[in-house]
Amino acid sequence: MRRLPLLFILLFSLSTIYSQTNPYVILVSFDGFRWDYLNRGLTPNLDKIKNDGVSAISLRSVFPSKTFPNHLSIITGMYAENHGIISNSFPNFEKNYWYRMSDTTAVRDSKWYIGEAFWETAERQGTKTASYFWPGSEVQLEHRHPSYREFYEHEKPYEQRVEGVINWLQLPYEARPHFITLYFDDTDTYGHKFGPSSPEANEAIVRLDNIAGLLMKRLNDIGLKDSVNVIFVADHGMTEIFEDKVINIENMIKEYNCRFMDDGPLMQVEPSAENLTAVYEILKRNESHYKAYLKKDIPDYFHYNKNPLTFSILLAADIGWSLVTNRRSDWVSKSKGNHGYDNNHLDMHGIFLADGPAFKDGYQTGTLWNIDIYPMLCKIFNIYPRSNIDGELERIEFILKE
């Protein structure tokens, strides 16, 4: 008769070990949710997660502090220069094609994505994954995307996105994804249009907090709340911009035929080889509220000059200032907020909150780096990370339970 309790103990122990080695993680992106939006008294659901689990003062983005580069940095553990997505839109002049986040064909073409996303790492080592929107998840190569995915629909109701995740978690165990990404744009959209201090931005903060509450409620409804690790991040922050803080770069060098990439917080300029020195000297001489760098002199802390598609000259605007050309300046009068500035500026930092069985309880820490999330995920799932990442587990593993 003693064998029966021993059998129960053995089965319980095996199930515990199995659950520990097959965790659940939902990685939620609140686009443009600045680090201090949590301090406005508008986020009771996120406050509960903050108090119960782990919270960082801020999450440091990579340069440039834009949406696609940072989502790829979060999911690959690499700086933009290394994972390949150096901006939301950029050209390869040698091949005569462009990457644009609005171009479905381009964003699904795997040739642009040099870094390995976590879902690739996990799938190769036996963990099923899913994505309810995330830059890079739509690539067409079979071995480079999650087992389950939704193609981006900007107008897809937020509640349906949450329910889609819940449906995946109710699949039969052998078919169920254990790592899932989820994306929401509200704070970015309304931060751009109305500014980060606007009532409209506050309303967006409230909507996303309600979505966080809904997600946690639905996890509880299906009996998985205590089993799932939920991580809330933002790809970048947001800062106010002004119509009287605009610099027309093209007018400065109008006598030269230059190519331009990006505008606003940063701009890249490509003169002809024979005009490079002359153009750079003009831009350097007129340097006011921006910094001009030759590619080789871009500061090491930007981690941006190793990529072959980076232009010969980089201009980085002071916070709140905008760099424009003659062809694209109308957005300045229509926008009250922007991002893409020096990633060390606090306005460009986002949030990091996490709660679940892998994370410490009621633990607060300083600024975390978004490139360290990839190795942290590998640690949670007990899988091997890629060896060429920039992220460092040592900078973040202290937030995990031993």
Task: Show pLDDT as tens, one digit a residue, over the chain (402 residues).
Answer: 445 455 444 444 444 444 445 899 999 999 999 999 999 999 999 999 999 999 999 999 999 999 999 999 999 999 999 999 999 999 999 999 999 999 999 999 999 999 999 999 999 999 999 999 999 999 999 999 999 999 999 999 999 999 999 999 999 999 999 999 999 999 999 999 999 999 999 999 999 999 999 999 999 999 999 999 999 999 999 999 999 999 999 999 999 999 999 999 999 999 999 999 999 999 999 999 999 999 999 999 999 999 999 999 999 999 999 999 998 667 777 899 999 999 999 999 999 999 999 999 999 999 999 999 999 999 999 999 999 999 999 999 999 998
Query: What is the set of active-site residues?
Result: 67
Domain boundaries, the chain: 23-240+344-399, 246-334
Structure tokens at 58: 């801020």
- The rounded distance, in Å, linking the Cα atoms of 300 and 281 is 21
Q: Are 123 and 101 in contact (CB under 8 A)?
A: no
Give the C-alpha distances (Å, rounded to integers) separating 273 from 8, 92, 255, 315. Answer: 75, 17, 15, 18
- The rounded distance, in Å, linking the Cα atoms of 68 and 101 is 8
Strands (E), 7-67: 24-30, 54-56, 59-60
CATH 3.20.20.70 for domain 246-334: no
Rg (CA), the chain: 22
- The rounded distance, in Å, linking the Cα atoms of 266 and 339 is 10
What CATH architecture is 23-240+344-399? 3-Layer(aba) Sandwich (3.40)
CA 382 to chain centre: 23
